Amino acid sequence: MSESGKDSDDTFISARMLNEFVYCPRLFYLEYVEGQFTENVDTLTGRFVHRNVEGQTPEFVLTEGKEKLRSVYLSAPHLKIIARLDILEVSEGEAVPIEYKKGQAPDSGGAWETDRIQICAQALILRENGYKSSHGEVYYASSRERVRVEITDELINKTLAALGEALLTARSTTSPPLVDSPKCPRCSLVGICLPDETNLLAYNPPAEMRRMFPMIPDSKPVYILEQGSTVGRSGDNLTVTLTSGKVENVRLIDASQLCLFGNVHLTPGALRLMAENSIPVLHFTYGGWFYAITLGHLHKNVELRIAQYGVAADSARSLELSKRFIDGKVRNMRTLLRRNHPNPSPTVLRRLSGIAKLVSTASTMMTLLGYEGTATELYFSNFQGMIKNDMMVQFQFSERNRRPPLDPVNALLSFVYALLVKDCLTMIYSVGMDPYLGFLHKPRYGRPALALDLMEEFRPIVGDSVVLSVINNKELDEDCFVHQGKAVALSQKGRKKVIVAYHRRLDSQVTHHLFGYRLSYGRLFEVQARLLARTLQGEIDQYIPFVTR
């Protein structure tokens, strides 16, 4: 019995999921079919309200002639419903399910419609198991009211109808978002659902675009760069012990990733804590080469990955997506040159505009890659013009080189691109896609091809922008670089400064060109990844890359 997955003969829908369906069919689809869930203040408050009944071993207590049982799991095989009853009271042959809710009872009296149907579903389960159940109760914690719900024929018919519709929705490919609904802003899945954004691109445009998720993500990556450090666990916190003996504590709620550079020890307890909380551990070489990721269980949304594999197997659809990635990259390269070059060549800007237009006409992947290569060469041939020359360190750039980088600018570009690809990779994992199967970048062992696809539009406006910022603001000196033969790499001091600048860029705000609201670049990664997922599943016709003016 599972609360997620496509409907089958052995799949049951829980009474709680039926409550979600009546409240919002799309919320039901995201949770039940796609296995999506995230916490917010409301869900955490609800968990607190249920603290006395959740996770307990069922035990009968006899009080005032009533048998009371907490946290009871029952199923109705005929109806295909399961439920965990918060409290079950049995007295004189009458079984009364009692459901705890965090909110308030309606001002008009009685219980909310969603809660009445959930209680009715629980009563039907009890009846199928041989109990008599003519009513149930809902306890609203905020208003401290215990409301009686009569199990009438009318309520039963509504519950059975909702159950049938829920089963049909579970078999569908998706469910449209609510339109201009006041329910959306407080929904814990609003940042996953993106109701107004999805309606604008796929269904009915909302009357007004609303940004209903935080502008900047609440948690941040944790970087451990000091060699010989140990990351351990203390309760639900991480402890970082430096070689000097200094111990620093990191609250798990503040960590979105754990990034380990070089020889850093991670204890089994800390690793388990990260895996249990779905927080990825990113592994880098001492020099900053991103080479591995450690995760707990993969995302449950196998339907999305099946859709991704189908698109990847279709050369025409792969080409269309690849065009969108390159279109965003070329247009953003032009914008960066126009903004940062003191005397941008009108010819160069005009050629980049022309290439961006040609990208949409490419009939083969080879033609598309030719356009991308021409634009990139043109862009980097003018990159030096965006670098100020009155520096203590001579930042001379003539061409893009790597493996290894041969000058400080290329060392910076390689390191920042490594940070960018790890953020795109972790975002792709969190959304539910396979980061190793791309469309523009073809699969190769160990290559996060889809992460490289997604980062194309962000290379100029995030990656290159960070490099220009740390150079032109004179944030680096000679000690920030290590020279070995012809190769150049960042020192630990240099990496620290670049990481600070990188996250300063991710926290900076930008106006989304489609949706009109402001958000940080760090949040923008997630929005674009979710729009890509919607495109793969066919809900949105065409992926639209982010471009800045």
Non-local (6+) Cβ contacts of 212 within 8 A are 184, 185, 190, 191, 195, 196
Extract long-range pairs of 452-456: CB within 8 Å, 24+ residues apart: 452/421, 452/424, 453/321, 453/322, 453/325, 454/325, 454/424, 454/427, 454/428, 454/525, 454/528, 454/529, 454/532, 455/417, 455/420, 455/421, 455/424, 456/325, 456/326, 456/328, 456/329, 456/545
Q: Can you tell me the distance from the alpha carbon of 519 to that of 109, in angstroms, rounded to the nearest whole number?
A: 40
Give the three-state DSSP class for 501.
helix
pLDDT for 64? 56
* 3-state SS, residue 342: coil
**Cβ pair 98, 139 in contact under 8 A:** yes
- The CA–CA distances, whole Å, from 473 to 32, 88, 389, 397 equal 50, 66, 11, 17
Which CATH fold would you assign to the domain 13-175?
A: Lambda Exonuclease; Chain A (3.90.320)
Report the distance separating Cα 268 and Cα 276, nearest Å. Answer: 12
Give the model's pLDDT for residue 32. 85
pLDDT at residue 10, as a whole number:
60
Kindly list the domain boundaries of the chain, sorted by start residue: 13-175, 182-213, 220-294, 302-536
Cβ(432)–Cβ(446) under 8 Å? no
Q: What's the pLDDT score for residue 93?
A: 79
Secondary structure class of 345 (helix, strand, coil)? coil
At residue 404, the pLDDT reads 86
Sign of the CA dihedral with 62 first, then 47, 85, and 156 last:
positive
| Assigned CATH topology for domain 302-536 | Four Helix Bundle (Hemerythrin (Met), subunit A) (1.20.120)
pLDDT truncated to tens, each residue of the chain (549 aa)?
A: 344 444 445 678 899 999 999 999 999 998 888 887 665 444 444 444 444 545 444 444 445 567 888 888 999 999 989 999 999 999 887 999 999 988 888 988 889 999 999 999 999 999 999 999 999 999 998 888 899 999 999 999 999 999 999 988 888 777 889 999 999 998 889 999 999 999 999 988 888 899 988 888 888 889 898 889 999 998 888 999 988 888 888 888 888 889 998 889 999 999 999 888 888 898 988 877 888 888 887 777 788 999 999 999 999 999 999 999 999 999 999 999 999 998 889 999 999 999 999 999 999 999 999 999 999 999 999 998 898 876 556 788 878 888 888 889 899 999 999 999 999 999 999 999 999 999 999 887 778 999 999 999 999 999 999 999 999 888 888 888 888 888 888 888 998 999 999 999 999 999 999 999 999 999 999 999 999 999 999 999 999 999 997
- Confirm whether 13-175 and 302-536 share one CATH topology: no
Per-residue model confidence (pLDDT) at position 306: 92
Q: Looking at residue 52, what is its pLDDT?
A: 52
What pTM was computed for the model? 0.85
Nearest alpha-carbon partner for 229 in 250, 214, 255, 198: 250
Cα dihedral sign for 249, 252, 253, 257?
Answer: positive
CATH of the domain spanning 220-294: 3.100.10.20
* Burial class of residue 69 (count of CB atoms within 10 Å of its CB; 0-12, 13-18, 19+): middle
Per-residue pLDDT tens over the stretch 427-481:
999 999 999 999 999 887 778 999 999 999 999 999 999 999 999 888 888 888 8
Is-contact 432 301, C-beta < 8 A?
Answer: yes
